[in-house]
Amino acid sequence: MQKILFPEANNEFIKTAAAELSANNICEPVLEELELPEACSQIKDGIVGAMVAGIDWSSRDVILACRDYLGMQDGFKTFSSLFVADLPDGRRFIISDGATCKNPTSEQLAEIVILAHDAAAKILDETPRVAILSFSTFGSGGKDPSMDKTAETISILKERRPDILVDGEMQLDAAVNERIGTKKAAIKGGSEVAGRANVLITPDINSGNILYKSVEQFAHAKLAGPILLGFNYPVSDLSRGSTSEDVVFTTECLMKLI
């Protein structure tokens, strides 16, 4: 059974979640009260397969420890994150990035798309279809630097990862509502993503954070994450408002990336 490290072992939500994970044979929780550098060493040394932290430490603490002690994946300069959102109607979405990269460049946004897509391919039960979100859909908003950045991002992706189904810029409703997506995509002759997106890429951390908290608070979605992307080993940086249920769900999703 896969070992998952919980270095904030004294937290009551962590204790409750670990008991549930163990009782349901989901993983073998390793509860040790450790400083983050030591926790990262346990992952690098192969003692555990992944780490779930951040319920007491700040996101900055967890992210910087991962950067300094786990290192970046080969070929990537950008670290990112994703959330898994399970809606009450049964739909599952991946949302990225709402936790790490504040205002990404087109090159950074392209790496965020790649990281989210490749993680989504393991977490979702269907082909990832990536929408880069905006206030505009395929030029409907006129001219704006954010729209230029999306166009540059898609151009980079066509060169670097032509296998990824990605489109944009598009508004949220055009991304996830098939009727609206079909109508709005007609201007460009249709889209394989519009109306069918299951990976939602936000243009900056403001919109990403607002989106994931909105689906949690207003749509009552079940949320996992943030799960950090771009580092050499799987790590989740929990929200400090996480419950034991959140910890269990996040751990289940994180394990798919090991």
Q: 163 and 84 in one domain?
A: yes
Give the pLDDT of residue 241. 83
Give the pLDDT of residue 239. 85
Q: 186 and 107 in one domain?
A: yes
Dihedral (CA of 41, 43, 48, 51) sign: positive
Q: 236 and 184 in one domain?
A: no
Q: 219 and 248 in one domain?
A: no
Nearest partner of 141 among 169, 163, 113, 119, judged by Cα: 169
Give the pLDDT of residue 118. 97
Give the pLDDT of residue 240. 83
Structure tokens at 204: 């900056």
Task: State pLDDT tens for residues 71-91.
Answer: 999 999 999 999 999 999 999
For residue 216, give Cα distances in angstroms to 46, 163, 189, 212: 34, 31, 34, 6
- Whether the upstream peptide bond of residue 169 has omega within 30° of 0, thus cis, is yes
Regions of the chain where pLDDT drops below 50: none
CA angle 144, 145, 150 (to 5 degrees): 100
- For residue 243, give the CATH number of its domain: 3.40.50.10950
Structure tokens at 230: 């771009």
Structure tokens at 50: 């992944």
Q: 146 and 97 in one domain?
A: yes
Number of domains composing the chain: 2
Q: 202 and 80 in one domain?
A: yes
Task: State pLDDT tens for residues 154-167.
Answer: 999 999 999 999 99
Angstrom distance (rounded) from CA 222 to CA 69:
31
- What is the edge-to-edge ordering of all strands in the sheet holding 28-31? 28-31, 3-6, 50-53, 235-237, 222-229, 80-86, 92-96, 199-201, 130-133, 166-170
Q: 161 and 63 in one domain?
A: no
Give the pLDDT of residue 216. 93
Please give the full DSSP string across the chain, using - where no structure is assigned.
--EEEES-TT-HHHHHHHHHHHHTTS-EEEE----HHHHHHHHHTTSSSEEEE-SSS-HHHHHHHHHHHT-BPTT----EEEEEEE-TTS-EEEEE-SSS-SS--HHHHHHHHHHHHHHHHHHSSS---EEEE-SSSTTTT---HHHHHHHHHHHHHHHH-TTS-EEEEE-HHHHH-HHHHHHHHGGGT--SSTTT--EEE-SSHHHHHHHHHHHHHTS--EEEEEEEESBSS-EEE--TT--HHHHHHHHHHHHTT-
Residues spanned by the domain of 145: 76-223
Torsion of CA 155, 80, 233, 68, to 10 degrees: 110
Q: 109 and 65 in one domain?
A: no
Helices 59-69 and 36-44: angle between axes, nearest 10 degrees: 40
- For residue 109, give the CATH number of its domain: 3.40.50.10750
Q: 80 and 67 in one domain?
A: no
